Amino acid sequence: MPKNTEVTKSLKENTLTAAAIYIASGVDPSTSNIFVQSHVKQHAELSWLLSCSLPLNWLERMIQYKDKTATAKEGEVGTGLLTYPALMAADILLYGAEVVPVGEDQRQHLELTRDVARRFNDLYCKGGPWKKKAKEYGVPSYPVFREPAAQIVKGGARIMSLSDGRNKMSKSDPNPNSCINILDSPDVIVQKIKAAKTDDIVGIFEDTSRPEANNLMSIYDITSQGDGEDVSGMSWGEFKPILATSVVEYLKPLQKRYEEVRNEEGYLEGVLKEGKEN
């Protein structure tokens, strides 16, 4: 077990890295608050309130929980995996979001958030007693929570694993070659794409029976921003270097901006402090 000082230092570095990636990706601190979730206690407080009115079977049907419990041994799955969707719902509902940009794999979480908001409003925000209490405290009597809508882009809404085109790409995958990280170096990206799983069908084209081909083509479409060359007649050996170059070039401006943000002493700490206070 690492010493407390090592854990604290690692947590701080990971926090600053995440904040820097947000900014490098285009989130502007002057218009969007960036803060550490645990520094705003209302997230945990609302999570607890929502958990108290959230049916257990709603949480048990969440895909991540079902997938994990289906393969894990008894005692291996923590309660946090079961209750995490309540915290995610709190993260959204706390700010009255109308639209939330998410990937396809997060659609179920957002649907749960909508269900939780509707259930809470139905249970506690209707009828005479509610209106009377709202009037007593001088607050509007309309429902407390807004039901947010999902905003899912058509292209790249769900990026799959490089080692198995049937599973989503995840940084928690035990196989390090299964995903491309935003801060991966060009050499690492080239190696990961070179090792990416493919099939033995001649020609590169999308087809429902070719999950790996679909995934690599999707990545190419995104990173080439629709400006890529025609690769349909190529072999995988010819296509993979082109794909790797496309990914490297796509991430280059983001990685450059990341380094600028990380190297500006005190900047990120100031952004997080201001985000918490606002």
d(CA 109, CA 59): 10
**Residue that the structure tokens 């419990």 belong to:** 69
Contact 228/219 with Cβ under 8 angstroms? no
Contact 113/92 with Cβ under 8 angstroms? yes
Contact 35/276 with Cβ under 8 angstroms? yes
Contact 15/36 with Cβ under 8 angstroms? yes
The tokens describing 200, both together, are 């033995």
The tokens describing 64, both together, are 């991540």
The tokens describing 99, both together, are 């639209």
> What are the residue numbers of the active site?
68, 168, 171
**Residue that the structure tokens 């659609």 belong to:** 107
d(CA 214, CA 174): 23
d(CA 27, CA 34): 9
